Amino acid sequence: MIQKACPRKEHIKNIHKQLKSVFKTEQQEVDSMCIITSTNHSSLPNEQLDYILSIKYLFQSNLDIDICCFFTFTETDLPHDQNVLTMNEITINKSLFANLSAVFQTTGASFNAIWKSNFQYFRDFLNHLDTCHPKTLRSSLEAEVPATDKREKLKSKVADLQPEVTKGLGQLVENKTYVDTISKRQNDISSMGDISFTIEEIRQTQEQLKPGQHVTNCVQCFFTCHENCSIPDNEKKIDCAAMKDGYCTKCTGHCIWSAHKNMPYVFHYSCVEVTKSYKEMKTSYEKEKGKTLEFHEYLENLNKDIEDLLARLHDKVKRITECNNELQGFQHNPLAGSVSDTINEMINAEKLKKEIGYEKRIEMFRELEIFSNLIRVRRN
C-alpha cells in the first residue's frame, strides 16, 4: 500500500483550508486551538513536536502564540514533556497539572477530595482560555520557491545523491548479511578455521541514453514519471505527457511539474550470486586495518562499519531532504519535510518500481529510518 510520506503537511493544510472556509469576514481570527496528544514516560514523539510547531505556523505571527500545556496524568514530578518542549524552543506560557490517574486508583473518603482538586484544575484551564487573545490566520501556507537557476542546481544535487543512496543501501545489505552469516556460524569457524558461503549481490549499472532521448524523474518522489520524453528543456516540463494542469499524474505525490528533471541516463539492477570465504575476507580486512583481530574484535569492527555506513546514508538523505525543502520554499518552515518523510518517499518509489532487490532495499530503508530517529531522540 502506497501512503503519503508526509501526512502532517497535508493535514495542516486541510486544517487551514477548513478554518478559512468557516470565516465570513476578512478578519480571520481564532481565539484558541486545542491539541490533544498521548505521551509516554520518556519523551514526546518527534511527530507530536512537529505537529505543535506546524500548528503555530497557521497564524501570521507565531512569536506571540500563547501555549498553555495542561498535563492531565501528572504525579509527584514535573512532566518530562515540559522539558522536551523547552529544549525544542517551544515556549510554554502557562502550565497546569492534574492527576487523573489518582481518580481511578482512589476509593473511600479521599476520593471526593481528589475529585474536587482535579475539577478545580479543569476550571483553571477553562478560565485561562478566556484570557487568550485572538490570533490571525495566515492568508496562505504556500511558500516562495527559488529562482530557475537555483532550482535546477538543487534538482541536480538530488539527482546525484539518489544513486549514491541506492548504492549505499546495497552495501548495507551485503554487510549485514555477512555479519549475520558469520555470527550464526561462529562454531563452524572455530572448529574448521574457515567457511564458504554464497550471498546475492545487487549490482547497479548506469546506462547512458541515446542523443535526444530523455527520462523524466521526480526529485521529490524519486520516481521515473516518463521513460521517453520528447521535451529536452526542464523549464518546459509542464508540457510533458505525464503532466495535467501543472501536476504529475504518475509519481506518488502527484508533484508540481517544476519538481521534475530530465536525466541523460538510467540505472539497471542485476542479481549475482557470489561465493565468499570467511578467512579471505577477514585476512583482507586485517590487512586494511593493519592488525590481527580475534573473532569478537572482528565482529565489533564490522558492526561499527555498519553504523558508520548508516551515518553516511543518513547524511546523504538529510541533504536530499534539505534540497527538496528548499525547492518548495520550506527550508525554514515547520511544514518542511523530515528525513523520515524522505525515506518513506523512497520506500514508496521502491514499491512502485519493484526493481531487482527492492525488498531488501526497503528493509534497509527501515533500518535507516530507525537510525535517523535515534539521532533526533538523542538530540532531544
- Say what the pLDDT of residue 171 is: 92
8 Å CB contact between 284 and 341: no
Output the pLDDT for position 1.
Answer: 43
Residue with cell 570467511: 278
pLDDT of residue 195: 93
Whole-number pLDDT of residue 6: 57
Q: What is the pLDDT of residues 83-131, one digit of tens each?
A: 777 777 777 778 887 777 666 665 666 777 777 887 888 888 888 888 8
Residue numbers in the chain where pLDDT is lower than 50: 1-4
Q: How far apart are CA 125 and CA 144, in angstroms?
A: 39
Half-sphere exposure of 271 (CA within 13 A, CB side): 11
CA angle 155, 158, 164 (to 5 degrees): 150
pLDDT score at 252: 80
pLDDT of residue 2: 41
* pLDDT at site 368: 94
In the chain, the amino acid numbered 349 is A
DSSP string, 1-63: ----S-HHHHHHHHHHHHHHHH--SS--EES---------SS---HHHHHHHHHHHTTBS--T
* pLDDT value of residue 335: 81
Q: Which of 60, 36, 77, 85 is nearest to 380 (CA)?
A: 85
- Paired with 229 in beta bridges are 214
User: Is the CB of residue 92 less than 8 Å from the CB of residue 85?
Assistant: yes
pLDDT of 1-52, one tens digit each?
Answer: 444 455 677 777 788 788 777 776 666 777 777 777 766 555 677 777 777 7
Tell me the pTM. Answer: 0.78
